[in-house]
Copies of this chain bind each other. A is one copy, B any other.
Amino acid sequence: MHRDDICCRVDEADLRRFIGQSLARCGADTPTSDAVVRALVTASLMGVDSHGLRLLPHYIKELQGGRVCGAPQLRMEQRLPAVAVLDAGHGLGHLAGYRAVEKAVEMARQVGVGAVSVGNSSHFGAAGCYAMTAAEQGMLGLALCNSDPFVLLHGSRQAFHGTNPIAFAAPVDGEDPWLLDMATSAVPWNRVQQYSAIGRELPADIAATEDGITTTHAADVRALLPLGGAGFGFKGAGLAGMVEILCSTLANMMHGFHLLPMTGPDMSTPRGVGHFFLVMNPEAFIERDTFQQRIKAYRDDLRAMRGVDDRPVMAPGDREWQCREQRRRKGIPLDHAQRDAYRELSLQLDIPSLAEHA
């Protein structure tokens, strides 16, 4: 969040309390509420503001509208030693995500690799949360999710895939993991909104109008280009397709093109989002110490490269760990829109408001 946009800060514990109470008030059971609190606070601490506390009002609307079930019946079926399938019972995707990754970790401990396909789910927040969870247990973790159509196909002016994120994490003993969490679109939607708010021109070749024409005017943007832009967008579109096949096809869910939009207006029909998780135990491939020496050497070499204008070169995740350290100390920032939304939730749900501070 840009410094100028910060209107107040809140403490992590108080934010957990508020999110948990809000969800409970709308019928979420404890496992669901705990999972959402964990995912949103993790993302907010790491500075992934698009996927942090900002999403609570949306999830509340989904619970109130009946699109998602606050107390879902999750059904996990282990079909083979390395494969399980989870029916998320149209609950909040965070619960399904954490359950699935735990199951994948368990299988990876047994047979080296665990893959879990999740269907009948909903938005699960930041994909990185689930990849991180695997890395915190010494595992390599991959987390994917499909989403509603918002990104042009390569060579087309029509939106087809969602921003279909890819998150991958690798464990580093005694240090924060190596963590990549990226959308397969050229730019995050969040960035477009940010530029729109301050009237700043977008870079060329990353976003398009309703007619699929590339534009640099953020306010006119209705779709994103795939990663690689007009020239090389077959790469981003191809990666989005891989995510789509693993998340929707493999889970017998509708592909992005047919998926109901996340933001409405229908808040009563379940969307049927799919996720995919893969966990691998590095010790199944290589001695633990050797892997750890190698990955540390790799990340140290990367960080030691010469940055443009003498700025430090960051490994994937480094910016997020820095932000987390700072926000744990100073509090988690809210912008005006978020503060107003949380104040309104407090009134609407009759919950003690967040203790805002500077």
Contact = CB atoms under 8 A, between A and B. Distances in A.
How many copies are assembled?
Answer: 2
Among A85, A186, A285, the one with the most B-chain Cβ atoms within 10 Å of its Cβ is A285
Contact of A112 (B83, B153, B242, B257): B83
Tier of interface size on chain A:
35 or more
Interface in A225-255: 227-229, 231-232, 234-239, 241-242, 244-246, 248-252, 255
A117 interface: yes
Contacts of A229: 229
A307 interface: yes
A314 B252 contact: no
B250 A160 contact: no
A33 to B, nearest CB: 29
Chain A interface SS verdict (over half): mixed
A83 B109 CA distance: 11
A306 interface: yes
Interface in A81-101: 81-83, 85
A280 interface: yes
Contacts of A255: 294, 297-298, 301
Given A232-B227, A286-B252, A314-B155, A245 B170 contact: yes
Contacts of A111: 80-83, 111
A79 interface: yes
Contact of A251 (B114, B285, B298, B302): B285
Contact of A308 (B155, B166, B206, B228): B155
Contact of A180 (B238, B246, B281): B238
A232 B250 CA distance: 30
A234 B278 CA distance: 22
Given A227-B228, A241-B180, A291 B83 contact: no
A302 B180 contact: no
Interface of A: 79-83, 85, 110-115, 117, 140, 153-158, 160, 166, 168, 170, 178, 180, 182, 186-187, 203, 206, 227-229, 231-232, 234-239, 241-242, 244-246, 248-252, 255, 257, 278, 280-282, 284-286, 290-291, 294-295, 297-298, 301-302, 305-308, 311, 313-316
